[in-house]
Amino acid sequence: MLAALRCIVYRDLLLALRRRSDVATALLFFIIVASLFPLGIGAEPNLLRSIAPGVIWVAALLSSMLSLGRLFAADYADGTLEQILLGAAPLGAVVAAKALAHWLVSGLPLVLIAPVLALQYDLALPLFWVLSLSLLIGTPVLSMIGAIGAALTLGLRGGGVLLSLLVLPLYVPVLIIGAGSVDMAAAGLAPDAQLLLLAAMLITAAAFAPWAVAAALRISIE
Amino acid sequence: MSTDSLKWLWYASPQTFYPLAGILARGCAVAAAVLAVIGLYIGFFVAPTDAQQGEAYRIIFIHVPAAWMSMFLYVVMAFWAAIGLAFNTRLSGMMATALAPTGALFTFVALWTGALWGKPTWGTWWVWDARLTSELILLFLYLGFMALQAAIDEPRRADRAGAVLAIVGVVNIPIIYYSVEWWNTLHQGASVSLKSAPSMAATMFAGMIVMAAAFWMYSIAVTLVRVRCIILERE
């Protein structure tokens, strides 16, 4: 089973590597959205410092959501997904592997680039760690939850907009806790509680989301 | 026992459920009208004026039952969705589909009356308080459920895809309920709880309970009418 999972992750990463522009687009979107806020709101440093955690987190949410459509669409179009469903590897595990690959491609780059955006927003240095850590724990949750939406909207007309309507409300707790952890640290308090809550969400999502995704895929394919 | 369960399963078929739903819907509609009249009478004429909030508080006779129903109906919807997924019954999916618009309506009513109540009491239409926000998210969940079902042409797939979404979304209900404890904000804590005696006048409480019962009956009646329409459409 583990071999199959490694194979899926490797394959998805390889596919993403062959189409580098897709990955770059989502990352660029993240940077552009985060850069638009100062232009719209004004570049007053105190204001920027206070909105930075929320803005960066919302940008991460949107960017992660943008790439969700690709999670199953290509496999669905060329019939690979049907073969995976028929295959011996348990579907829940395969789905978890695909979500992991999605996170490595779309979530991890956000975590790595976020400190640069934090610089733009003039965040204090110690907060960089909290921001990166919260994104590191939080973005996999987004990939997991997003996979449910992607599986449900597979092959539907207007899938993209519908996907955002389904997934964004479910992202809200992650956003609140994730941005809250940075706010907490900015106020000079320990962000441990929020980070642990995020970790709890990650564990819960990792345990249950794959089954929901598997059920949704079976419904969408038949 | 076996004949009993057989009777219940007998009504699991849309054809046999259709006439029963008609009778139940009529009965519940009448009950809803009567209870609403009694509840509104208590609310407007019997219940005393609140010492701090004046007459403006009377909107709670709509607001609180609507908020209760909005959350409760989502759980009911998820329940039918789960039954539909587990036993593959057609009627369960139809019930979930029929419940969604009523739930969305009550969520909207709860938000709207909350705003009307908040203006004179808090001095603002809207605050980004945990409970208001979760209620808004609940509305989005309802709308997402309805949008997903509307986007799928094949009714069986729509039922089952919606079922998965409803079950995933039901995670949101405890978050709404515990949010008051999680984030300490403007919204007052729940005034009515099962554990302690209600912290309000008995007549106010009675009015609210009667209105809740009226909304309950209304939900059943409207849902059953909608189920009948869906049955006619599909079968």
- Give residue A177's pLDDT: 85
Q: How far is A32 from chain B (nearest CA, A)?
A: 27
Over range A37-50, report the average pLDDT: 87
Token output for A184: 């907490």
B7 part of a folded domain: no
State yes or no: ipTM above 0.90.
no
The stretch A29-45 carries a mean pLDDT of 89
Greater confidence (A29 vs B128) lies with: A29
Cα nearest neighbour of B163 on chain A? A216
Q: Between A and B, how many residue pairs show a Cβ–Cβ distance under 8 A?
A: 54
Provide the domain count of chain B.
Answer: 1
Q: Give the residue carrying structure tokens 């949101």.
A: B172
Q: In A, residues 108-147, which contact B (CB 8 Å cutoff)?
A: none
Residues of A with Cβ-Cβ distance to B143 under 8 angstroms? 165
pLDDT value for B216: 92
DSSP, residue by residue, A63-78: HHHHGGGHHHHHHHHT
Cα(B187)–Cα(B131) distance, rounded to whole angstroms? Answer: 7
Please spell the DSSP secondary structure of A30-87, one letter per residue: HHHHHHHHHHHH---HHHHHHHHHHHHHHHHHHHHHHGGGHHHHHHHHTTHHHHHHHS
In a domain, B65, yes or no: yes
Phi, psi (degrees; rounded to nearest 5) at B50 = -70, 140
Domain-embedded: residue B9:
no
Asked if the structure places residue B2 within a domain, the reply is no
Task: Check if A85 contacts B (Cβ < 8 Å).
Answer: no
A chain contacts of residue B161, beta-carbon cutoff 8 Å: 152, 216, 219-220
Residues B162, B221: Cα–Cα separation, whole Å: 22
* pLDDT for res A143: 93
| Predicted structure pTM score | 0.86
Q: Which of residues 157-176 of B touch A (CB under 8 A)?
A: 157, 160-161, 164-165, 167-169, 171-172, 175
Q: Is B74 exposed, middle or buried (0-12, 13-18, 19+ CB in 10 A)?
A: buried
Residues of B within 8 A of A168 (CB-CB) are 140
pLDDT, greater one: B123 or A28: A28
Closest Cβ opposite residue A165 in set B144, B160, B171: B144
Query: DSSP letter string over B31-62?
Result: HHHHHHHHHHHIIIIISPPBTTTBGGGGGHHH
By Cβ distance, the residue of A157, A166, A220 closest to B144 is A166
User: Which residues of A are less than 8 Å from B155 in CB distance?
Assistant: none
- DSSP string over chain A: -HHHHHHHHHHHHHHHHHTHHHHHHHHHHHHHHHHHHHHHH---HHHHHHHHHHHHHHHHHHHHHHGGGHHHHHHHHTTHHHHHHHSSS-HHHHHHHHHHHHIIIIIHHHHHHHHHHHHHTT--HHHHHHHHHHHHHHHHHHHHHHHHHHHHTTT-TTHHHHHHHHHHHHHHHHHHHHHHHHHHHHTTS--HHHHHHHHHHHHHHHHHHHHHHHHHHHHHH-
Tokens 């011996």 belong to residue: A88
Residue among B137, B165, B171 minimizing CB distance to A166: B165
Where in the sequence is the domain holding B90, given as residue range(s)? 17-234
Quick one: chain B helix, strand, coil %, rounded to 5?
80, 0, 20
In a domain, B174, yes or no: yes
Q: What is the pLDDT of residues B69-112, one digit of tens each?
A: 998 999 999 999 999 988 888 888 899 999 999 999 999 999 99
Report the residue from A165, A168, A212 with minimal CB separation from B164. A212
Shortest Cα distance, chain B CAs vs residue A140, angstroms: 17
Q: Please tell me the distance from the alpha carbon of residue B191 to that of residue B44, in angstroms, as a whole number.
A: 20
| Separation of alpha carbons B42 and A70, rounded Å | 57
Pair B80, B90: CB distance under 8 Å:
no
Looking at residue A122, its pLDDT comes to: 85
Tens-place pLDDT, residues A95-119 = 999 999 999 998 999 999 999 999 8
For residue B219, tell me if it sits in a domain.
yes
Residue B8 lies in a domain: no
Chain A residue at shortest CA distance from B171: A170
What is the rounded CA–CA span in Å between residue B77 and residue B85? 12
- Two tokens at B18? 């259709």
User: Inter-chain contact B144–A219, Cβ cutoff 8 Å?
Assistant: no
Other C-beta atoms within 10 Å of B230: how many?
19
Average pLDDT over every residue of B134-154: 90
User: Given pLDDT bands bounded at 50, 70 and 90, which one contains residue A88?
Assistant: confident
In B147-211, beta strands by DSSP E = none
DSSP symbol at B128: -
